[in-house]
Structure 1
Amino acid sequence: MSTTTDFYVGRGPDAEWIGSLQRDCEPDNILLVPPGRLALTTSTESTYRHAVEALLADWVTGNHGRSHRIVDGWPWPWPTSHVSSWIVIFDPGESAVFTTVGGGTRWERIDPADPRQSANVDDELGPPDLHSWLADPAAPPSAPMPRMLHPAPGNPCRHGAAL
């Protein structure tokens, strides 16, 4: 299964989804693409939004993988980012970028001076009980995420999307 990363502005159930990447899109790989590095290290919301938009374009043109924009609708066959590999957010209240993993129980602030993730950060952020997470990925203690709706009314996600 390929890696997926979702980008948001804000945290919690009211966060705004602004796009997603697919394939080899762990934060350390995102840092290798110039707009990705800018997105992960900025301290302003406008720069974050513009950098994510440029990253979504560069991800495809640089043959890194697929990107999914707001205009295309929520791309995954699951209704929240609790099942995505990585979640990246810009928190306007803290003027900082944070990451967590699907089922993650806390947010890790990215240090702009040293943005690389520690080797085992996904284990540190991940669900403490994998069996419970598999049964209900959105259940506490998972970090709260918005429920995404595909543009069709009442359709909670795009079922059957190719991953």
Structure 2
Amino acid sequence: MSGTTHDFYLGRGPGAEWLGSVRLGTPDSRWLDEITRAWSAGAFACLVTVFLQVTQAEQAGEVARGDSGQWPWRWPTSHGTDYVHAFDEGAVWTAQRGERWSARAGVYVPPGPGDQPLVFPHGRATCGYTGIAAADTTARRYGPLLGATHRHDLYQLALRILADLTAPAGPGTPSAVDALRGLLPPRLRYAVTTDDAAAELEIEVFGYRDGDLAAEETVHALSLLPALYGWTDPAGGPPRFGVRVLIADEQRHTTHPVLADPRTRTVLTSR
């Protein structure tokens, strides 16, 4: 299930009480608006409890409750969650994917010297995953498209990326996808090969003439994929996956016969 992830806390900081989490299949702004306007800790906790119960009963998302003690995400703290909501100092504060507490009672709060650091209790000491599923350090900067794809293996992830690159834009398209598409000419076609052993996507791009300088811009844009669908690690740790981008020459279609048909936009194979 794709969608947005949300965590709920009483208090902020390492001693905050985790009330629960949800991955919503579709936005439910009515409930979330009510929650962000809660006037007391008790009202906030009650609204969160009812919201999680309704979401589970209506099968509108995946729910985890704090009293179960079962942290649902592969990232170890809420730094990797799309939206974090915490009742503290008389109001509900909201932070987006590890950025900062940017809203109070649903109203934007500009950055300032009094900002409280974004610190969360550990949902787990380590996620215990390696390779493409690894997410075991809070130092990483999680990408905006990780939450919707964190359960994908490399082949599934490649399918999702190709769909994001080539599908028509529509309501609900993540802004990060729109921004990426804006860097890529729509005429381009892609042949992607997954390499599980290396956790790497080889992306061959068709649509440029030999020596076209714009090809370098495409190479740069596609090199952003690991940061968008995974993370960056200031400490130099391994990415979720790597990419190797190749620009096909004008005769490459003769050795890649599927792409000889100009109506074919993408090809995906495994090594």
TM-score, normalising length: structure 1: 0.65
**1:37 Cα deviation (Å)?**
4.0
Amino acid at match of 1:143: L
Query: Match of 1:85, as an amino acid?
Result: D
- Structure 1 counterpart of 2:5: 4
Query: What residue number does 1:40 align with?
Result: 36
User: Is 1:66 aligned with 2:45?
Assistant: no
Match of 1:85 among 82, 88, 108: 82
| Cα shift at 1:10 | 0.5
Gap runs ≥5 in structure 2: 134-149, 153-271
Letter in 1 for 2:11: G
Q: Please tell me whether the aligned partners of residues 31 and 40 of structure 1 are also in contact (alpha carbons under 8 angstroms).
A: no
Per the alignment, in what secondary structure is the counterpart of residue 8 of structure 2? strand
CA distance in 2, matches of 1:45, 1:158: 33
Distance in structure 1 (CA, Å) of the matches to 2:10 and 2:82: 18
Whether the aligned pair in 2 keeps the contact of 1:104 and 1:142 (CA below 8 Å) is: no
120, 124, 145: which one aligns with 2:120: 145
Counterpart in the other structure of 2:21: 20
State the secondary structure of the residue aligned to 2:30: coil
Separation (CA, whole Å) in 1 of partners of 2:118 and 2:62: 26
User: Scaled by the length of structure 2, what TM-score is found?
Assistant: 0.41
**Structure with greater strand share of residues:** 2
Report the residue type matching 2:126 in the other structure.
Answer: P
Q: 1:72 to 1:105 in 2, by over 3 A?
A: closer
Between the aligned residues of both structures, percent identity stands at: 29
1:156 is matched with 126
Report the residue type matching 2:34 in the other structure.
L
One-letter amino acid of the structure 1 residue matched with residue 23 of structure 2: Q
Q: Which has the larger radius of gyration?
A: 2
Q: Encode CA deviations 1:87-132: one digit per residue, 9 max, x unaligned.
A: 00000xx21111011121234102xxxx4x77xx9xx88xxxxxxx
Instruction: Give the match for residue 99 of structure 1.
Output: 94
Distance in structure 2 (CA, Å) of the matches to 1:47 and 1:143? 23
SS of alignment partner, residue 143 of structure 1: coil
The RMSD of aligned alpha carbons is 3.0
Query: C-alpha separation between the residues in 1 aligned to 2:6 and 2:46?
Result: 17
Q: Secondary structure at the match of 1:49?
A: helix
Q: In the aligned structure 1, how far is the partner of 2:100 from the partner of 2:34?
A: 25
Tell me how far 1:145 sits from its aligned partner: 1.6
Aligned to 1:109: 104
